[in-house]
Structure 1
Amino acid sequence: MTKPILRLPGALMLLALAACTPADKTPQTAPGATTASDQRAASAAGTALVTAAARPSPAARTAAEFDTTTREQRVAAAAPPTTGERRLGTTIASLGDPSQPGFWIKTPLAKSETDGRIVNPANGKSAKVRLIPLDGPASGGSQVSLPALQLIGVSLTDLPTIEVYGS
């Protein structure tokens, strides 16, 4: 019978080898590029706020590798509001799925998918985002895309209180 401590090096070696094996061999779009289906989805939504950013590579490990938005998309998202907005409330924000591209927030403050804006009251920075309903009480937290958090100057490990506005 093998002692449990002797099994540890073998298990670690298997884990190391598994980490070296690519999990997905599908062709990847270059960061910042858009696919035809992304462009159709953005066009179907009828808004420039739904970015056509590419999905990050499965090999992405850093925030820069996960953020596939273009400079133009970041400038458009940071632009001041051009129409009237109404304040939906405040929410505790956390980083959402970094593999989902674009500027979005999943929040219980939204009743339907629509355009909106999030504001970091600590520094006044804001980002135009797609508001996506999230089940739960209005006092529940929200998930925010990586590019949106970066645009409003929030550390990816913080849990800031942000303001949410809808169109």
Structure 2
Amino acid sequence: MRRWPPAPKAAASCPASAKSSPRKPKRKRGERSGCGRDGSRCADPRASAKTAAQFDTTTTAQKAAAAAPPASAEKKLGLTVASLGDPTQPGFWIKTPLVKSAGKGRIVNPANGKSAKVDLQPLAGPASSGSQVSLPALQLIGISLTDLPSVEVYQN
């Protein structure tokens, strides 16, 4: 016969790294640390969000910072097919197989020249596979959420 709720797991099953890791700083409920390009925090969308406007929790200042021209030299990583990523993840980011480790960069819509500064996040798969882009980043560079356009990816 099973007991409900199940008995807690023994402390020995906890990895050593979890025991000694420092505590993360507290933040307000519904905020994610450092998801804005200007270092500010972004609020998570509400659970009741249904429209693109409700999922986009970035501020005007965060959008302006993401749209600013690059301040340093960049390296072009390549062209990738962009699709809408998880709309519940706030901020400006791209998950792409063109990078092997997280970093900062920029995406450009070659059709209109608009660009957005983004966090580059690795995505498993061959470099020829597509990428996932955040909702605010797609909107900033003028791409419809249902399109599958090619975007240029640059790394700082």
TM surpasses 0.5: yes
Give the drift of 1:83.
0.2
Deviation sequence 1:60-103 (CA, Å, 0-9, x none): 00000000000000000000000000000000000000000000
Aligned-partner residue type, residue 88 of structure 2 = S
CA 1:103–1:66: 2 relative to 1, 3 Å: same
Task: Name structure 2 gaps, 5 residues minimum.
Answer: 1-26
CA 1:51–1:134: 2 relative to 1, 3 Å: farther
- Do the aligned residues in 2 keep the contact of 1:49 with 1:129 (CA within 8 Å)? no
Q: Determine the C-alpha separation between the residues in 1 that align with 2:88 and 2:40.
A: 14
Deviation sequence 1:44-66 (CA, Å, 0-9, x none): x9x84555211100100000000
Alignment correspondent of 1:165: 154
Q: TM-score, normalised by structure 2?
A: 0.78
Alignment correspondent of 1:66: 55
Query: In the alignment, does 2:33 pair up with 1:35?
Result: no
**CA-atom RMSD in angstroms:** 2.0
Structure ranking higher in strand proportion:
2
- Do the aligned residues in 2 keep the contact of 1:50 with 1:103 (CA within 8 Å)? no
Q: 1:80 aligns with which of 54, 64, 69?
A: 69
Give the drift of 1:35.
3.3
**Secondary structure in 2 matching 1:75:** helix
Aligned-partner residue type, residue 121 of structure 1 = P
Q: Percent identity?
A: 64
Alignment of 1:54-133 (within 5 A): 54-133=43-122
Structure ranking higher in helix proportion:
1
**Secondary structure in 2 matching 1:116:** strand
**Secondary structure in 2 matching 1:82:** coil
Task: Detail structure 1 runs of 4+ shifted over 2 Å in the superposition.
Answer: 34-39, 47-51
Aligned-partner residue type, residue 103 of structure 1 = F
Task: Name structure 1 gaps, 5 residues minimum.
Answer: 1-33
**Secondary structure in 2 matching 1:64:** helix
- Do the aligned residues in 2 keep the contact of 1:104 with 1:131 (CA within 8 Å)? yes
Q: 1:52 aligns with which of 31, 38, 41?
A: 41
**Secondary structure in 2 matching 1:148:** helix
Alignment correspondent of 1:14: none
Q: Determine the C-alpha separation between the residues in 2 that align with 1:51 and 1:88.
A: 27
Q: Determine the C-alpha separation between the residues in 2 that align with 1:105 and 1:159.
A: 14
Q: Determine the C-alpha separation between the residues in 2 that align with 1:37 and 1:64.
A: 17
